[in-house]
């Protein structure tokens, strides 16, 4: 019986981790890919001095946000959602939704940044060729995005990898409540503190396995990409 | 379409004039070949004709109606034109899907696409390649896919930028064959650029010489390159044949830009487009730069060695290939081999022209 409950809790924790990070990345991709693509397409326009300055500023800002400290994001979201905060009445603090929001803020810049550079690195010749073959601007844009598909997919996987291993942000906004908002990473923290090293290590192994699967997928994609 | 009229076309990139008052007409069904050194503006001209770039000033008329370069949607005109670029940039998809692209963006049905693409693969002799990813193809195969890609939509006007440059001989001859066939059978108007004079002579109804953004000559091949086609044709079979635009130096010699950053100085005095020949026996080879009065010296690498008994023929790659002959004895003394760095030196008076 004890064994069963133990396994059930681990299962619950793992599922929540996957659910929170998965949702964050799913929503993040639907926001980040269009924005990243739109920014990446800017390279096909004329390069005036002002445009170039805007580009540099924008890229630096995106890169900064790509490395946003999770704890800082957690704190901001906490202040937003806490009972006395502006979104307090929504009663979202210490819920998986709050955790998804936290991770969303972290993954969107990653997806934008990686998608942008993937689309930006597609040769101008590809777009020229599409237009020359009779494609409309929209069709040509789609073709460029299609050429960048490996990079776009990479952005999603990298974002998921960052989200699933994140701890500081969701600890603050989720509160690490057993059976409700406890994820692999937050559980490891608390179990370590409690001295339950066997549980902490089991959770660590699961996290490592997920990380390995993510990297395996990424490597396979990259290998297929370099076949050119 | 398409009688093409180009009227005093100018193109500037950030103050640099690439095309200067270019005007010509191309008749329906004509093969019109643009020749000229690198940087003459040939590619820019083709890109303007394909509506990929806007001219700074001037007009292009297709069948009497001027092209509206400021139009938001240029697809209507573009759809009647096919273009093959010098640097093939195929899509990361199968050869079949690459060729089908133009038909798909036009919304054609899959059944007719299959038929058309099949016919194109047949035409460029790539049957069996349909499922191969285009990025894994060799240069020659890729260029043939690019040609099929441009032709599958049955363009009235076909633009080609150096379509056979750096291709293997078999692919080059397939491309040439396809071009003359579609021109003959479908009446496709062709405007192309080339460095290959034999190709220009073989395919062109008319040629135009473009140099530094200006048209310097236009007409039938013989009319432009001299009335004595004999020597030119003989030249073409020889080694060390170069061509380019010549400028008279202050000393009265001719400096000929043969492309790839190489300039050959010749003792004769002639400006404009010239063909050059340097007899292999007039070339001096050395492993160190020669301190001599010879005006032409290039450093390169030996890429081919042919034993001719007492003589050895060496091909030296110094951007362009130079063939030199030396005695077997000096060949041994200099300890030359494939890959050896050598200097190719010859006098201005050794440079012949037709």
Q: Which residue of A has its CA nearest to B77?
A: A134
Whole-structure pTM value: 0.70
The mean of the pLDDT values for chain A is 89
pLDDT at B144: 95
- Judge whether residue A97 has pLDDT over 90: yes
pLDDT at A47: 57
- Judge whether residue B293 has pLDDT over 80: no
Ranges B31-35, B168-172, B253-257: which has the least confidence: B168-172
Q: Tell me which residues of chain B have a C-beta less than 8 Å from any C-beta of chain A.
A: 47, 50, 52, 73-75, 78-79, 81-83, 85, 87, 89-92, 101-102, 105-106, 133, 135-136, 149-150, 153
Fold type of domain B280-347: OB fold (Dihydrolipoamide Acetyltransferase, E2P) (2.40.50)
Residue of A43, A35, A22, A64 lying closest to A156 (CA atoms)? A22
- The pLDDT-based confidence of B53 (bands split at 50, 70, 90) is very high
Interface test with B, best of A129, A147, A149, A223 (most B CBs within 10 A): A129
d(CA A101, CA A1): 36
In degrees and rounded to multiples of 5, residue B322 shows phi and psi of -120, 135
CB burial of residue B138 (10 Å; 0-12, 13-18, 19+)? exposed
pLDDT at B232: 41
d(CA B3, CA B265): 41
Average pLDDT over residues A159-165: 93
Measured between beta carbons, the chain B residues lying within 8 angstroms of A147 are 91-92
Average pLDDT over residues A152-174: 93
d(CA A39, CA A210): 31
User: ipTM of this model?
Assistant: 0.73
- The pLDDT-based confidence of B87 (bands split at 50, 70, 90) is confident
- Judge whether residue B230 has pLDDT over 50: no
B320-327 vs B272-277, strand pairing mode: unpaired
- Judge whether residue B98 has pLDDT over 60: yes
Q: Which residue of A has its CA nearest to B79?
A: A134
- Judge whether residue B235 has pLDDT over 80: no
In degrees and rounded to multiples of 5, residue B118 shows phi and psi of -60, -45
Q: Which residue of A has its CA nearest to B150?
A: A133
pLDDT at A66: 85
Closest CA–CA distance from residue B71 to any residue of chain A (Å): 12
Measured between beta carbons, the chain A residues lying within 8 angstroms of B100 are none
B320-327 vs B157-161, strand pairing mode: unpaired
pLDDT at B3: 87
Ranges A45-54, A151-160, B174-183, B315-324: which has the least confidence: A45-54
Average pLDDT over residues B323-335: 84
- Comparing CB atoms, the residue among A128, A132, A147 nearest residue B92 is A147
Q: Which residue of A has its CA nearest to B93?
A: A147
pLDDT at B354: 66
- Judge whether residue A226 has pLDDT over 60: no
Q: Which residue of A has its CA nearest to B138?
A: A228
Give the three-class secondary structure for B243: strand
pLDDT at B60: 94
d(CA B47, CA B85): 9
Q: How far is CA B352 from CA A167, B181, B243, B275, B295, in A?
A: 78, 36, 11, 8, 14
pLDDT at B199: 82
- Judge whether residue B259 has pLDDT over 90: no
Sheet holding B57-62, edge to edge: B16-26, B4-13, B57-62, B65-66
Would you call A139 and B105 a contact, using CB atoms and an 8 Å cutoff?
A: yes
In degrees and rounded to multiples of 5, residue B35 shows phi and psi of -120, 160
- Judge whether residue B27 has pLDDT over 50: yes
pLDDT at A46: 57
The mean of the pLDDT values for chain B is 87
Ranges B168-182, B214-228, B278-292: which has the least confidence: B214-228
Average pLDDT over residues A42-67: 77
Measured between beta carbons, the chain B residues lying within 8 angstroms of A129 are 85, 89-91
pLDDT at A124: 85
In degrees and rounded to multiples of 5, residue B115 shows phi and psi of -65, -50
Interface test with A, best of B52, B92, B104 (most A CBs within 10 A): B92
CB B298 within 8 A of CB B322: yes
Would you call B105 and A129 a contact, using CB atoms and an 8 Å cutoff?
A: no
d(CA B24, CA A89): 74
pLDDT at B71: 85
- Judge whether residue B178 has pLDDT over 90: yes
Q: Which CATH superfamily is domain A2-225 in?
A: MetI-like (1.10.3720.10)
Q: Tell me which residues of chain A have a C-beta less than 8 Å from any C-beta of chain B.
A: 123, 125-126, 128-137, 139, 143, 146-147, 227-228
- Judge whether residue A133 has pLDDT over 70: yes
Among A128-137, B218-227, B300-309, the range with the most confident prediction by mean pLDDT is A128-137
- The pLDDT-based confidence of B237 (bands split at 50, 70, 90) is very low
Ranges A64-68, A151-155, B177-181, B263-267: which has the least confidence: A64-68
Helices A49-66, A96-120: inter-axial angle, 10-degree rounding = 140
Measured between beta carbons, the chain B residues lying within 8 angstroms of A227 are 133, 135-136
Give the CATH number of domain B4-224; options: 3.40.50.80, 1.20.58.1880, 3.40.50.300, 1.20.140.10. 3.40.50.300
Measured between beta carbons, the chain A residues lying within 8 angstroms of B89 are 123, 125-126, 128-129
pLDDT at A114: 92
- Judge whether residue A139 has pLDDT over 90: yes
d(CA A130, CA B89): 10
- The pLDDT-based confidence of A120 (bands split at 50, 70, 90) is confident
Average pLDDT over residues A215-226: 77
Would you call A132 and B50 a contact, using CB atoms and an 8 Å cutoff?
A: yes
Q: Which residue of B has its CA nearest to A227?
A: B136
Measured between beta carbons, the chain B residues lying within 8 angstroms of A128 are 47, 52, 85, 89
- Judge whether residue B103 has pLDDT over 50: yes
d(CA B15, CA A166): 52
Measured between beta carbons, the chain B residues lying within 8 angstroms of A228 are 92, 133, 135-136
- Comparing CB atoms, the residue among A123, A134, A227 nearest residue B106 is A134
Average pLDDT over residues B166-195: 89
pLDDT at A106: 94
- Judge whether residue B233 has pLDDT over 60: no
- The pLDDT-based confidence of B228 (bands split at 50, 70, 90) is very low
Average pLDDT over residues A128-156: 91
Average pLDDT over residues B131-149: 93
Measured between beta carbons, the chain A residues lying within 8 angstroms of B44 are none
Rg of chain A over Cα atoms, rounded to whole angstroms, equals: 21
């Amino acid at each position: 019986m004890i064994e069963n409950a133990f396994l059930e809790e681990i299962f619950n924790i793992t599922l929540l981790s996957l659910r929170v990070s998965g949702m964050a990345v799913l929503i993040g991709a639907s926001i980040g890919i269009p924005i990243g693509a739109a920014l990446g397409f800017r390279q096909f326009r004329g390069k005036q001095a002002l445009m170039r300055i805007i580009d540099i500023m924008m890229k630096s800002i995106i890169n900064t946000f790509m490395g946003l400290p999770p704890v800082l994001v957690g704190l901001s979201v906490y202040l937003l959602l806490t009972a006395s905060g502006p979104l307090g009445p929504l009663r979202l603090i210490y819920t998986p939704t709050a955790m998804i929001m936290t991770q969303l803020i972290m993954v969107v810049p990653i997806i934008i940044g990686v998608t942008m550079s993937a689309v930006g690195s597609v040769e101008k010749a590809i777009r020229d060729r599409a237009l020359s073959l009779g494609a409309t601007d929209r069709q040509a844009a789609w073709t460029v995005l299609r050429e960048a598909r490996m990079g776009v997919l990479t952005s999603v996987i990298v974002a998921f990898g960052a989200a699933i291993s994140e701890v500081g942000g969701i600890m603050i906004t989720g509160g690490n409540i057993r059976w409700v908002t406890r994820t692999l990473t937050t559980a490891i923290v608390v179990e370590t503190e409690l001295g339950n090293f066997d549980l902490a290590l089991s959770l660590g192994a699961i996290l490592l396995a997920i990380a390995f699967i993510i990297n395996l997928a990424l490597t396979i994609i990259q290998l297929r990409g370099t076949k050119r | 379409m398409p009688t093409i009229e180009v009227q005093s076309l100018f193109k500037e990139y950030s103050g640099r004039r690439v095309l200067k008052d270019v005007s010509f007409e191309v008749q329906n069904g004509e093969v019109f070949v643009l020749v000229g050194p690198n940087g003459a503006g040939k590619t820019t001209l083709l890109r303007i004709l394909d509506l990929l770039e806007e001219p700074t000033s001037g007009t292009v008329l297709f069948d009497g109606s001027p092209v509206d370069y400021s139009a938001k949607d240029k697809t209507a005109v573009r759809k009647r034109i096919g273009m093959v670029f010098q640097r093939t940039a195929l899509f990361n998809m199968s050869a079949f899907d690459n060729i089908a692209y133009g038909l798909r963006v036009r919304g054609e049905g899959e059944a007719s696409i299959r038929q058309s693409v099949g016919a194109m693969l047949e035409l460029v002799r790539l049957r069996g390649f349909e499922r191969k990813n285009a990025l894994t193809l060799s240069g020659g195969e890729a260029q043939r896919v690019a040609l099929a890609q441009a032709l599958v939509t049955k363009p009235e006007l076909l633009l080609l930028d150096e379509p056979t440059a750096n291709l293997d001989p078999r692919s080059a001859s397939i491309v040439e064959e396809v071009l003359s066939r579609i021109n003959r059978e479908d009446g496709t108007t062709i405007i192309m650029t080339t460095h290959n004079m034999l190709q220009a002579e073989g395919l062109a109804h008319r040629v135009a010489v473009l140099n530094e953004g200006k048209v310097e000559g236009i007409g039938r091949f013989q009319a432009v390159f001299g009335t004595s086609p004999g020597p030119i044709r003989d030249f073409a079979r020889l080694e060390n044949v170069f061509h380019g635009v010549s400028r008279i130096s202050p000393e009265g010699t001719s400096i000929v830009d043969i492309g790839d950053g190489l300039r050959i100085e010749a003792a004769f005095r002639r400006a404009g487009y010239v063909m050059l020949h340097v007899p292999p026996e007039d070339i001096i080879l050395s492993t160190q730069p020669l301190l001599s009065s010879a005006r032409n010296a290039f450093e390169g690498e030996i890429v081919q060695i042919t034993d001719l008994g007492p003589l050895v023929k060496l091909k030296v790659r110094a951007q362009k290939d130079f063939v030199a002959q030396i005695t077997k004895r000096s060949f041994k003394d200099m300890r030359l081999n494939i890959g050896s760095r050598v200097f190719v030196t010859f006098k201005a008076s050794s440079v012949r022209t037709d």
